[in-house]
Amino acid sequence: MILVTGGAGYIGSHTCVALAQAGHEIIVLDNLCNSRADVVGRLSRLCGQEVRFVQGDIRDGPMLDKLFATHPISAVLHFAGLKAVGESVNEPLAYYDNNVNGAVQLLDAMRRARIKTFVFSSSATVYGDPASVPISEDFPRAATSPYGRSKLMVEDILADVAHAEPEWRIARLRYFNPVGAHESGLIGENPQGVPNNLMPYVAQVASGQREYLNVWGNDYPTPDGTGVRDYIHVVDLAEGHLAALDYLHRQGGLLTVNLGTGRGFSVLDMVGAFERACGQAIAYKIAARRPGDIAACWADPSRAQELLGWQAKRGLDQMCVDAWRWQQSISRGGGG
């Protein structure tokens, strides 16, 4: 059985579906600070099994001890955490407590229970502003926000744990920009308030919830001047976790891999692709650069391909079609 922390959230829920499809039993632990309990019912439908759900916090050691004592858990996929870069600047302690202390509490409880297989949601943000693209795993790491530093710190903690106790099997997965949703339209990303990220914002413009998109800068040194990112379909990302788990079972040790497509698309490329998917124009205005943004970021995904035999399969159009289906489902009050 696999414990999925943050399994009611965006990436965790899609990974639960991939795990269940591969025949794994799962149990979700989530404190619902950024998700809703009704996701679990929809997850059970998609997984074809009653998904066990525990509402609780990864920082609650006694609860974790009980969880590990009462379920035959063999591995932990750790998605739980806070992820808003801007918020982390204003509330650094909340971020270090949730993301760093939370990971330490969880690892410590695993150690007490002698469960030593751990997959961590890291981020391309650990590369800061890269000197060049594509980005490979040996690029220097840097962080520009408390959120980014919390990811760096947990990456370092995991390396120390792997060094001290080589029987641990640990994956540090550096996600690029996850977008899209499950093709059923039953699960997806449903941010609270004004979306920070591009794709959910564009989807809300398409559904009439927002008037227009602000394109944060068109004077970057990129082909059309707007920021370029490596957008990856969340189902591909979910499948990357399965591949990483298989690798850990085969090889053990400490694995660090990028999960991206290896292709970069600009903000205007994304707007164009979404227009094709929803069949209508997306209004936008060019605005000033967003502080802290970088020009371009995309992965060198070759290590994941070599070591895991995994590569992203779903293209930009499918990302947008699936995101649009999900957005319509939210607008009808169905999902989210």
Smallest distance, ligand NAD to C-beta of residue 255, A: 16
Rounded to whole angstroms, the Cα distance separating 122 from 171 reads 9
Q: Looking at the chain, how many residues does it have? A: 336
| 121 part of the interface to ligand NAD, by CB under 6 A | yes
* Position among 3, 17, 68, 79 found at the interface with ligand NAD (CB under 6 A): 79
* Position among 8, 43, 198, 271 found at the interface with ligand NAD (CB under 6 A): 8
| 58 part of the interface to ligand NAD, by CB under 6 A | yes
For the beta carbon of residue 3, count every other beta carbon within 10 angstroms. Answer: 25
Specify the DSSP class assigned to residue 207: T
CB 26 within 8 A of CB 97: no
* Position among 2, 3, 4, 10 found at the interface with ligand NAD (CB under 6 A): 10
Q: Are strands 265-266 and 228-229 parallel, antiparallel or unpaired?
A: antiparallel
Span interacting with ligand NAD, options 31-39, 203-211, 222-230, 272-280, rule CB under 6 A: 31-39
What x-and-dash track marks residues 282-301 binding ligand NAD by CB under 6 A?
Answer: --------------------
DSSP labels for 87-111?
HHHH-HHHHIIIIIIHHHHHHHHHH
Q: Give the residue at shortest CB distance from ligand UDP.
A: 227
Tell me which of 147, 220, 231, 247 is the catalytic residue: 147
Is 127 part of the annotated catalytic residue set?
no
The partner residues of 297 in beta bridges, in order of sequence, read 229
Specify the DSSP class assigned to residue 290: P
Q: Residue 63 in 3-state DSSP?
A: helix
| 98 part of the interface to ligand NAD, by CB under 6 A | yes
Binding site for ligand NAD (CB under 6 A): 5-6, 8-12, 30-35, 57-59, 79-83, 98, 102, 121, 123, 175, 177-178
Task: Return the active site residues.
Answer: 147
